[in-house]
Amino acid sequence: MRTRGGDVSQVEPLNPWFRTRSPERASQRCAVSFYPHRLEMLGRAHSFGLLTRVTRVGPITLGDIIHETDVRMYFDESRPSYHVCVPLSGWIQARHRGQELTSTPALGSIYRPDAGITVTRWPGGSRHLQVKIDQLAVDRALETLLLGALDSPVAFGAALPLQPRIGCGYC
């Protein structure tokens, strides 16, 4: 069976919610689903908790993630993917490519693959949709559209407005 975007076999079933109170298990889960990182608790260690559900569709990984206490995270300098953060509730502060970013339900963030990410504060209870998109898939799609090779990652702006603008022509 084929779907509009490809083969159904590329779609992983939606995983059940995963919960842990162990920072080590939380880091391992993130490394498998997204990227290796170093986790630092800013809130009370005894109230740490991670609640997440992750699924993958071809080159795209989607995660619905809640940390139950304030945390900070340090990710490697480069990753083989673009990353989009869409807060569903709460907010998140991060540093990427020399910019300080605050994502809210009205303003998400886009992180390029050619630089590290530091999540300086993920407040406990904030719920975020995390989207990982393979850089090669983005590059190939754009090369097809542009009829030529790309020589660097696409320079997306770091801010991603999430609220429709009145009179934008698409509403």
List the pLDDT tens digit at each of the 171 positions of the chain.
334 444 445 555 666 889 999 999 999 999 999 999 999 999 787 889 999 999 999 999 999 999 999 999 999 777 889 999 999 999 999 999 899 999 999 999 999 998 889 999 999 999 999 999 999 998 888 888 877 777 776 777 888 888 766 655 544
| CA-based nearest residue to 35, from 132, 159, 100, 155 | 132
CA–CA gap between residue 87 and residue 156 (Å, rounded):
19
Give the CATH class of 2-161: mainly beta
The reported pLDDT for the residue numbered 167 is: 57
Is-contact 10 60, C-beta < 8 A?
Answer: no
DSSP assignment of 111-132: E-TTS-EEEEEE-TT-EEEEEE
115-144 in b/e form (b: 16+ CB < 10 A) is bebebbebbbebebebbbbbbeebbeeeee
Q: What is the pTM of this model?
A: 0.81
